[in-house]
Chain A
Amino acid sequence: MSSDTHHSGISGLGGEVLGHTDVKVSHCYQCGKCSAGCPLSEEMDYPPSVIMRMLQTGNPDLEDKVLRSLSIWVCLTCEMCFARCPMSIDIPKMMDFLREKSLNEKKSNPKAKEIIAFHKSFLDSIKYTGRLYEIGLFVDYKARTLKILDDLALAPKMMKRGKLNIIPELIKDRSGVAAIFRKANKKNKN
């Protein structure tokens, strides 16, 4: 961990963010440009600049709220916040770390259930075939979320236009890809 942790007075989650990503929450001076430019801020429980402030306080209750927030999951990593931050704080990189930690500590927001289910279905698809199998993804996602009726009209329209493969593309070295997943998941409980 860098000595900046000490100088910035940040311990706790802000310190962990620094240690794992080099992102310094202490550099935020609350100009609010990230929240103004964020396309999803109106759907968030705390806009990005508020997340930054919560982490700056070092208050464990607020840190817990960050990990349980919907914000970290509706964040699209569109990178607009980072592009406009006058202090060049890599907020999207921090969000990736917070999401992974939120999952590992089983604190993910219940309203993010569908978003997380989609990511899991996506990764499962490539774990087994090496490439994304879109029909498999849809079916797996529906099984996870029970959103059976959503997008039901979409698949036949895609099929008609040749946009859906019936048979998955299987790569040869599937065991190599499976090994990547196995090793990456060892340090990670999800």
Chain B
Amino acid sequence: MTLGFYPGCSLKGSSREYAESVLAVAKAFDIHLEEIKDWNCCGATAAHNMNKELSLALPARILSLAEKQGLTEIVVPCAACYSRLTVTKHELSENPALKAVVTEANDLAYTGSVSILNIVQMLDKYIIPNLEGRVVKPFDHKVACYYGCLLVRPHEILKFDREEDPQSLDALMLKAGATPIDWAFKTECCGAGLSVSRTSSVGRLSGKIIGDAKDRGAEAIIVACPMCHSNLDMRRDAINAYLGEKVDIPVLYITQAIGLAIGLDRKALGLQRHFVKVSV
């Protein structure tokens, strides 16, 4: 079967391994992910911090292109892109005046007919029903499932999982043979877009997350967002400086962990690209 696919910028660059693992897992279950042609950046945090119209017009262009291509359901693995696309779809359906302004800016037809799936929804809907019997190497580790902000908030718009103590990633990891742990930092912010402009804040915020995961015996942290991953993985020096010790718990994308469980090649899942060595 075929699903629409919006990779977003991170998956083409600093989070290449997320794209690699998403595509590898999809392929293993005979799902073809068809990229939206000529897609643009969603504008991310920068756009909605600076200019509301821009923050809606950029995602609206992406959704229009998906419609034009005849895609009815698109998979958006990046939690930040997922949030921007979903918030835009919501705002444009609630506010016809805004929709008119944005469609005029884009010069493309927009009806709002495309369904947007985050990675957990995609896995739940299309992979999990067929997972039984495919797990050849159970991911037999204690894992801290880290949801971050944008996968679950704002609940009023996303209507996905619970905003305090969400469970969906934990449920997936249980099926992959892992033991998800209870911990306190599932939805605390990693520092997100301040990674470059205020790295010390990211060291502190991500440090608390890694610190709690370690204290509770996690052997791996499981994420579904490139920003969470790059802060928890690439900013490990700043995190260790905050914690005052060297913590080497690896951070895996949910699709990398599931890929390992179904026996996919480590390199095909991009595990060699991480800063913190993936020893699990």
Chain A interface residues toward B at CB < 8 A: 39-40, 43, 74, 76-80, 82-83, 88, 90, 92, 96-97, 99-100, 103, 114-115, 117-120, 122-123, 126, 130-132, 134, 138, 141, 150-151, 154, 157-158, 161-165, 169, 171-173, 176-177, 179-181, 183-185, 187-188, 190
Closest to B187 in A: A80
* Contact A190 B104, CB 8 Å, known A74-B194, A74-B198, A151-B196: no
**Interface residue SS majority, chain A:** helix
Once the chains are docked, how many angstroms separate the CA of A79 from the CA of B80?
Answer: 12
The list of the 4 closest CB pairs from A to B, nearest first, reads: A79-B153, A78-B189, A132-B9, A122-B46
Stretch at the interface among B26-34, B36-44, B173-181: B36-44
Q: Report the minimum CB–CB distance from A41 to chain B (whole Å).
A: 12
Contact of A78 among B10, B38, B192 (CB under 8 A): B192
- Chain B 239-280: CB-based contact to A (< 8 A → 1; otherwise 0): 000000000000000000000000000000000111100000
- Complex alpha-carbon distance, A146 and B5, angstroms: 38
Q: Tell me the smallest distance from the CB of B78 to a CB of chain A, in Å.
A: 11
Could you give, for residues 19-57 of chain B, a 1 whenever the CB lies within 8 Å of some chain A CB and a 0 otherwise? 000000000000000000011110111111111111101
Is there contact, CB below 8 Å, between A179 and B154?
no
Tell whether, in the assembled complex, residue A173 and residue B48 are in contact, meaning their CB atoms are under 8 Å apart.
no
Instruction: Give bound CA distance, A90 to B57, whole Å.
Output: 21
Does B14 lie within 8 Å of A115, measured CB to CB? no
Are A90 and B154 CB-contacts (below 8 A) given A78-B189, A99-B50?
A: yes
- Cβ-defined contact, B201 with A40, below 8 A: yes
- Find out whether the CB atom of A126 lies under 8 angstroms from the CB atom of B205: no
Q: Which residues of B contact A (CB under 8 A)?
A: 9-10, 12-16, 38-41, 43-55, 57-58, 61, 104-108, 149-150, 153-156, 163-164, 187-189, 191-194, 196-199, 201, 205, 234, 272-275
| Residues from chain B with Cβ under 8 Å of A138 in the complex | 196
Complex-state Cα separation, A122 to B272, whole angstroms: 28
Alpha-carbon distance between A97 and B188 when the two chains are bound, in angstroms: 24
- With a cutoff of 8 Å between Cβ atoms, the chain B residues found around residue A126 in the complex are 9, 40-41, 43, 58
Measured between beta carbons, the chain A residues less than 8 angstroms from B163 are 83
Contact across chains for B13 and A134 when beta carbons are under 8 A apart: yes
Residues of B contacting A169 in the complex (Cβ-Cβ under 8 angstroms):
9, 12
Contacting pair A176 B154 (CB below 8 A)? no
Cα(A181)–Cα(B156), bound, Å: 29
Chain A residues with CB below 8 A from B156, complex form: 88
Residue of A with least CB distance to B7: A131
Whether B275 lies near A157 (C-beta < 8 A) is: yes
B contact residues around A122 at 8 Å (CB): 44, 46
Q: From known contacts A76-B192, A176-B61, infer whether A100 and B52 are also in contact, taking CB-CB under 8 Å.
A: yes
